[in-house]
Structure 1
Amino acid sequence: MSSVLPQDLTEWLSASADGIDFGEISAEVILPRLARAGLPGIGVPEKIGGSGGDIVRSVHAVAAVAEQSLAAAFMLWGHRCFIEFLLKSANASLRKKLLPDLLAGRVAGASALSNVMKFLAGLEPLQVTARSEGGDLTIDGKLPWVTNLRQKGFNVAAAADRTEGGPALIVSLAHDDEGLTRTRDLELMGMRSSDTAAVTLSGVRIPRERIIAENAQEWLPGVRPAFIGLQCGMAIGLARRSLTEAITFGGAGRDILSPSLAETDVRLREIEAQLFAGLRSDAFVTRPVPLFELRIELAEVVADAVALELQAAGGRCYLQEPGRAFARRWRESAFIPLITPSLVQLRTVLASAKKAA
């Protein structure tokens, strides 16, 4: 999948992956590098500035970046999700206003819709409210975990419960909105250069022209496949890289691993095929359960692939320098089950669906 990326970007990501993981490389340089390669525009219609194609091409791009750095792929996921929200919005003027800077990487896009995804599944209430004041909206609440909050400029999509009643809104907030406060970066175990922080909203007043969707409950099923599908790209790329490394370390008495490596590779390819078919047919819009199941399976494949890399490489993985890249992938693999919707949340939803059936 790395062929999706230009060679210079692949080389830069490979050389920078540990620095990105440890926070030694400024997050401000990552998104512009991805944008110069045209990655945010993949799957965006050419007539509005993209390079065309479908969401599957975007998943391939996220996977290709994840082969080198999951943190960079996580940033691309959030950025591309925000772009997808604009593409699926009826608000053409907002799309026209924001899209050029997003495609060029001059401003970051961030998805703070994890809360509303859990809200839709009945797992938690919305944490942001909106009240009408004249022709504007006043937004209050907190977004506890958001990635790609670029210090020098970001737009973030958030769901807000209307205090006066009615369906929840999806709104676009900006880094310089009065009353919006970005915290310091969260103290993550890895992926430290991903501009991941929390946002507090205190009386943030925005015009109604910044509404992405008037009815979140009706709108979200249409964007959920891309939201989760692009997450799956992160898992695909990480699993693919670990399997590649494990095969490289084959031999030297480790041929016993060959059947497991082949089985895991086949399983990964089968999941990819099912994922891409469902995304292209829009089957996941009305039937999200198979998509949830694929996300769970991919997390399991990642765990198997990283474990196989460890077994194939042996003790060198536990030595600081030769095991440096493996240690990063091990940390990255620990994040895959936690991405919202987490595996626990997905399994909870699946268990409820099974009971209701």
Structure 2
Amino acid sequence: MALNKQLLAQIIEEKLKPLVKKVDEQAHYAESYILALGEAGFFQSANKDQSSLLVDEATVVRETAKVCMTTAFCVWCHLAALTYLRNSDNPFLKNDVLPQLENGVKLGATGLSNAMKYYSGLEKLHLTAEKTEAGYIINGTLPAVSNLGKRHYFGAIATIDTREVMVLVSTNASGLEMTERLGFIGVNGSATYTCKFENVLIPNDFVISEDAKAFCDIIRPTFIYYQVPLGAGVIAAAADGIEKVKAKQNGCNDFLKVQATELRSHHERIEAELTQLASNLTLKDVVNTRLQAVHDTLAAVQANMIHNGAAGYVAGSVPSRKLREAYFFANLTPTVRHLEKIKSNFT
């Protein structure tokens, strides 16, 4: 079934656009918007091949990011959780929990920032696990997990003996202490929390994989793929921003080197690469696309600021918000330096 772009645009218009300034300036979490997407069927994987699923869900991220990349980031967090369950061999997670996440009953988050860095040799693993008959007892602290609330699940990886286990954690789990994190220059509305585990029991039914390292190798390309449209959406928004002020100061902006047409060509290239990747998704190719998308996004928001002049420098302006969103995109795991290290493995 083809993506209903008209319905998506309607939900964005009604459920997201009125909240954007509140998200950016008051750290409002647009949970109702993400739930509305689920209820409308935008996270359904049934009767879709892998290529169509990737393209359709990337479209949802991109269209959301055009309006609010903070909320698009939350959508990406949810898609990451869906990716975990879709690839798990655990029948309970696939048959009972996954439908709730796809239908907008529950929401999901990633929780793998630390683990992804661990597997690239950048950090130590923050969580430990102890095997019991009932499941795994988890201890430790994850510094930042986004897109969390009362009806949420998130993935987590903990070390046990000589291996790692990946589990799905309910935010209502006993022994889990969540402390909200604010004070960022952007994405404060991303519902980000420090998660402290004190003897948190994860039942066997909520084990995603007994071999987390091998599982991460499987899901990492999709994990990164869904990030790329975050940048694509911001680039498209920056191009629109430049178009809106092209007549400013008697058309003086025409003399600037970077114009909207260049930004749109970058956007079109990213979209073409996403379509191609959906049919043949490899880590090498998606890392290259993601890395180039970061640089294109940073250049786009800078051009948008210059075209808007002093108006873009005013607190609360759209160009300044896009600028801050782009810097977050550059620092989203895997960050630029992390991506460069991964890329070095292919040369």
TM-score, normalisation: structure 1: 0.88
The verdict on how the C-alpha distance between 1:21 and 1:38 changes in structure 2, with shifts beyond 3 A counting, is: farther
| Residues 1:35 and 2:44 aligned together | no
Match of 2:324 in 1: 331
Distance in 2 (alpha carbons) for counterparts of 1:148 and 1:298:
23
Distance in 1 (alpha carbons) for counterparts of 2:29 and 2:263:
35
| Residues 1:271 and 2:270 aligned together | yes
| Residues 1:146 and 2:145 aligned together | yes
| Residues 1:7 and 2:10 aligned together | yes
| Residues 1:79 and 2:78 aligned together | yes
* One-letter amino acid of the structure 2 residue matched with residue 192 of structure 1: N
3-state secondary structure, aligned to 1:317: helix
3-state secondary structure, aligned to 2:121: coil
Q: Which moved more, 1:235-244 or 1:15-24?
A: 15-24
Answer whether contact 2:165 2:209 (CA < 8 A) is retained: yes
- Deviation sequence 1:278-308 (CA, Å, 0-9, x none): 23213x1xxx233222211111111111122
The verdict on how the C-alpha distance between 1:289 and 1:148 changes in structure 2, with shifts beyond 3 A counting, is: same
Shift of residue 11 of structure 1?
4.3
Distance in 2 (alpha carbons) for counterparts of 1:64 and 1:100:
24
Distance in 2 (alpha carbons) for counterparts of 1:334 and 1:133:
43
| Residues 1:237 and 2:240 aligned together | no
Shift of residue 101 of structure 1?
2.3
Shift of residue 27 of structure 1?
4.2
Answer whether contact 1:173 1:210 (CA < 8 A) is retained: yes
The count of residues paired between Structure 1 and Structure 2 equals 341
Distance in 1 (alpha carbons) for counterparts of 2:83 and 2:164:
19
3-state secondary structure, aligned to 2:180: coil
Structure 1 residue ranges, 4+ long, deviating more than 6 angstroms after superposition: none
- Deviation sequence 1:38-96 (CA, Å, 0-9, x none): 3333xx1249xx99932121111101000011111011111111011111111121122
Answer whether contact 1:4 1:61 (CA < 8 A) is retained: no
Distance in 2 (alpha carbons) for counterparts of 1:257 and 1:39:
40
* One-letter amino acid of the structure 1 residue matched with residue 253 of structure 2: R
Answer whether contact 2:108 2:153 (CA < 8 A) is retained: yes
Answer whether contact 1:40 1:79 (CA < 8 A) is retained: no
* One-letter amino acid of the structure 2 residue matched with residue 313 of structure 1: N
1:290 to 285, 294, 300: 285
Q: Which moved more, 1:170-179 or 1:273-282?
A: 273-282
* One-letter amino acid of the structure 2 residue matched with residue 32 of structure 1: L
Distance in 2 (alpha carbons) for counterparts of 1:131 and 1:120:
20
Distance in 1 (alpha carbons) for counterparts of 2:13 and 2:336:
30
TM-score, normalisation: structure 2: 0.90
Answer whether contact 1:40 1:76 (CA < 8 A) is retained: no
Tell me the C-alpha RMSD between the 2 structures. Answer: 2.4
Distance in 2 (alpha carbons) for counterparts of 1:269 and 1:98:
36
Distance in 2 (alpha carbons) for counterparts of 1:27 and 1:155:
17
Answer whether contact 2:308 2:319 (CA < 8 A) is retained: no
| Residues 1:217 and 2:213 aligned together | yes
- Pairwise mapping of residues 129-208 of structure 1 onto structure 2 (< 5 A)? 129-150=128-149, 152-162=150-160, 164-165=161-162, 167-208=163-204
Answer whether contact 2:235 2:263 (CA < 8 A) is retained: no
Identical aligned pairs, as a percentage? 26
Shift of residue 327 of structure 1?
1.9
Q: Which moved more, 1:225-234 or 1:23-32?
A: 23-32
Shift of residue 234 of structure 1?
0.8
5+ residue gaps, structure 2: none
Distance in 2 (alpha carbons) for counterparts of 1:63 and 1:123:
29
Match of 2:65 in 1: 66
Shift of residue 29 of structure 1?
2.7
Distance in 1 (alpha carbons) for counterparts of 2:98 and 2:179:
26
3-state secondary structure, aligned to 2:184: coil
Distance in 2 (alpha carbons) for counterparts of 1:13 and 1:312:
26
Answer whether contact 1:56 1:280 (CA < 8 A) is retained: no
* One-letter amino acid of the structure 1 residue matched with residue 23 of structure 2: I
- Pairwise mapping of residues 105-120 of structure 1 onto structure 2 (< 5 A)? 105-120=104-119
Answer whether contact 1:31 1:76 (CA < 8 A) is retained: yes
* One-letter amino acid of the structure 2 residue matched with residue 45 of structure 1: A
The verdict on how the C-alpha distance between 1:174 and 1:319 changes in structure 2, with shifts beyond 3 A counting, is: closer
Shift of residue 229 of structure 1?
0.9
Distance in 2 (alpha carbons) for counterparts of 1:346 and 1:4:
35
Shift of residue 240 of structure 1?
0.9
Distance in 1 (alpha carbons) for counterparts of 2:50 and 2:216:
25
Distance in 2 (alpha carbons) for counterparts of 1:11 and 1:170:
37
* One-letter amino acid of the structure 1 residue matched with residue 75 of structure 2: L
* One-letter amino acid of the structure 1 residue matched with residue 159 of structure 2: D
Shift of residue 28 of structure 1?
4.0
3-state secondary structure, aligned to 2:190: coil
Distance in 2 (alpha carbons) for counterparts of 1:292 and 1:115:
18
Shift of residue 3 of structure 1?
5.2
Answer whether contact 2:232 2:270 (CA < 8 A) is retained: no
Match of 1:57 in 2: 56
3-state secondary structure, aligned to 2:323: helix
